[in-house]
């Protein structure tokens, strides 16, 4: 099994255990591939739920630029709700899982097709 496949399995397990959902493995794989080499970098592969600057980056670079959503207060609310569902005490919030959950939340799976 490749390193990427191992990481995707780890992400799938987080989606099952933290969010109580069965992941769409095809979409999860596409999200992970879309993150490129960042998934292999210990720092870049995680999102700090307590760092407002980092959450703004998720909003601006992913929700607005990648998913093409308009700037509204609902964007930050959705980021915070995913962070809360992941668990504030969970130190390792994987970027791929957060991006996957936000993609599902906004129904933007078509971005990855």
Query: Where in the chain are the domains?
Result: 1-110
Mean pLDDT of 92-102: 96
Residues whose CB is less than 8 angstroms from the CB of residue 95 and which lie 6 or more positions away in sequence, other chains included: 35, 38, 39, 44, 45, 46, 47
Per-residue pLDDT band at 55 (split at 50, 70, 90): very high
Residue 1: pLDDT over 90: no
Query: 77-90: buried (b, 16+ CB within 10 Å) or exposed (e) per residue?
Result: ebbeebbeebeeee
Q: Give the CATH number of domain 1-110.
A: 1.10.238.120
- Checking if the pLDDT of 69 tops 90, the result is yes
């Amino acid at each position: 099994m490749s390193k990427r496949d191992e990481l995707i399995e780890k992400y799938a397990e987080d989606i099952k255990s933290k969010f109580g959902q069965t992941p769409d493995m095809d979409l999860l794989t596409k999200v992970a591939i879309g993150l490129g080499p960042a998934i292999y970098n210990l720092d870049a592969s995680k999102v700090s739920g307590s760092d407002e600057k980092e959450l703004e980056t998720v909003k601006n670079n992913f929700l607005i630029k990648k998913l093409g959503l308009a700037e509204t207060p609902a964007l930050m609310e959705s980021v915070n709700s995913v962070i809360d569902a992941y668990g504030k005490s969970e130190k390792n919030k994987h970027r791929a899982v957060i991006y996957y959950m936000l993609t599902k939340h906004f129904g933007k799976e078509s971005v990855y097709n």
